[in-house]
Amino acid sequence: MKAFLFRGLGALLALGTAVVSLSCGDQQLLRIQVLPANIIVAGTPTIIYQAIGHYSKTMTTQDLTNQVAWSTSTPTIVAFSDPTHPNYLIPTGSGCGANISVTASMFKNPKDPQSGTSVVGPATVNVQCGTPTGGVDFGLTSNPTTVTASPGSTAIFSILVVVKTGNPAIELAVSNLPAGATALFTPPTVVGTTTSNLAITTLATTPANTYHMKVTGTDASGSLNLNLSMVVP
């Protein structure tokens, strides 16, 4: 009698395990959120993208950045061309365009790719044909141009100032910060060709969003702007 009870209990446990496995394995990808959703760049900065998968059943999310297939509608202008970093988008410098489509795609049910059904996450990028310098004697670039930072943390941008002529002193400032965020340049004024690190610290209550900020460099010859983005997930 005991042996029968143990066998019955074992069968029930096995059935329960099978049901749980089916429930987890059966969940499907509903949509893909691409971050940043839209961005404006000038020159050839690298844009780092992230793909967040939203699932049915458990209503959970998962980072799919390294699992999705990345593509653009105009690879002659912007392309995912770094095989070691498939989510790094690099403008080619051979053209410009507005609302260029960026997509992250993945099969809806990864366990059944033969179904052919996929989910596509959309985003757009605008590539400007350079920013008019107005005769300024320096240039600005950043590495990276987009940073993902959790609320209450600090994002670091490395701002490179490249001097064209002379040895001017360039003052750096940043605008369009998230509400309550603080910014610190180290150093805030650079002389000649050098790098200044920009640290932006958000509040623990900073809402999730993609924030588009503007760095401005100024010297006696004039001012120059550089667009940056910070993704708060």
Report pLDDT digits (tens) over 189-213: 999 889 999 999 999 999 999 999 9
Q: Is 186 helix (H, G, I), strand (E, B) or coil?
A: strand
The per-residue pLDDT for 133 is 43
Give the Cα separation of 100 and 102 in Å (integer): 7
**Residue among 98, 188, 184, 192 nearest 138 (CA):** 192
Least confident of 130-144, 162-176, 195-209: 130-144
> Which residue carries 């998962």 as its tokens?
62
**Mean pLDDT rounded to a whole number for the chain:** 80
Class of domain 138-232: mainly beta
- Confidence grade of residue 8 (pLDDT, cut at 50, 70, 90): very low
- Confidence grade of residue 10 (pLDDT, cut at 50, 70, 90): very low
Q: Where are the domains of the chain?
A: 29-128, 138-232
pLDDT exceeds 80 at position 156? yes
Q: Decide: 172 and 196 in contact? Cβ < 8 Å.
A: yes
Q: Would strands 222-232 and 146-148 be described as parallel, antiparallel, or unpaired?
A: parallel
Give the Cα separation of 38 and 118 in Å (integer): 22
Looking at the chain, the whole-number percentage of residues with pLDDT higher than 70 is 79
**Residue among 126, 142, 134, 115 nearest 219 (CA):** 134
Give the Cα separation of 108 and 88 in Å (integer): 23
Class of domain 29-128: mainly beta
The reply to whether 138-232 shares the fold of 29-128 is yes
The per-residue pLDDT for 3 is 43
Give bridge partners of residue 126 from the DSSP assignment: 40
